[in-house]
Copies of this chain bind each other. A is one copy, B any other.
Amino acid sequence: MGVCPVAIDNRTVYIILGLLNHEPMSGYDMKKRIEVSISQFWDVGFGQLYPTLKKLEADGMIVRAGEHHPGRPDRYVYSITDRGRQLLRRWLEEPASKEYVRYEILLKLFFGGLVGREANIAAIEAFRARYSGAADLLAAYGEELRLALGDSPDHLYYLLTVIFGEKVYKAYLEWAEEALKLLQSHQSSGGDQP
């Protein structure tokens, strides 16, 4: 009591607690769950996951049940405790921090005058390729979720995050189209030295 033993800003903590609040699972399970949904807006690697699990257990936010299947890899299933659920709820009720983004493509375009049209067009094409498939996949997943909305109160919340992705990916693709048109209409002379 008194001193808070768990880091406040470490979102890995809350991702773990959030997943365990739904059902007990192993670190490996968490990683898989994260990959198919959460990673789209907040990714977590093994290098963060396993150490954070240890810390959360030491602080009594989660408990570990060792499952030693002889002849198979160890598998430790974690569950959330009441203290952990409290911590999770406290975080959920705090205002969310500002969005954090890093777009290397925009960095390169911002300084794009140095290299000329072709390199910049190629960069935008690559960007578009990254999202044209992803947008369709997300839309399909969104459709599934919309149909299964009644199955669980959580589905509505999952859907909100999927709709976010749908809109943002659509914005990405529209931008790529417009950017390519703009670059093609303004023929710049390229940035190579004479």
Contacts and interface: CB of A to CB of B under 8 A. Distances in A.
Contacts of A21: 111, 114
Helix, strand, loop or mixed for chain A's interface? helix
Contacts of A127: 96
A153 B109 CA distance: 12
Contact of A114 (B41, B92, B160, B182): B92
A105 B100 contact: no
Interface in A32-51: 37-38, 41-42
A121 B94 CA distance: 13
Interface in A68-93: 85, 88-89, 91-93
Contacts of A158: 110
A96 B171 CA distance: 19
A112 interface: yes
A132 interface: no
Contacts of A178: 163, 167
Nearest to A99: B103
Interface string A133-166: 0000000000000000100011011111101100
Interface string A114-132: 1100011001001100100
B115 A89 contact: yes
Interface residues of A, number: 68
B95 A126 contact: yes
Contacts of A106: 41-42, 160-161, 164
Interface string A158-194: 1111011001101110110011001100101101000
A98 B11 CA distance: 21
Nearest to A88: B114
A15 interface: yes
B171 A110 contact: no
3 closest residue pairs by CB, A with B = A18-B111, A171-B171, A100-B102
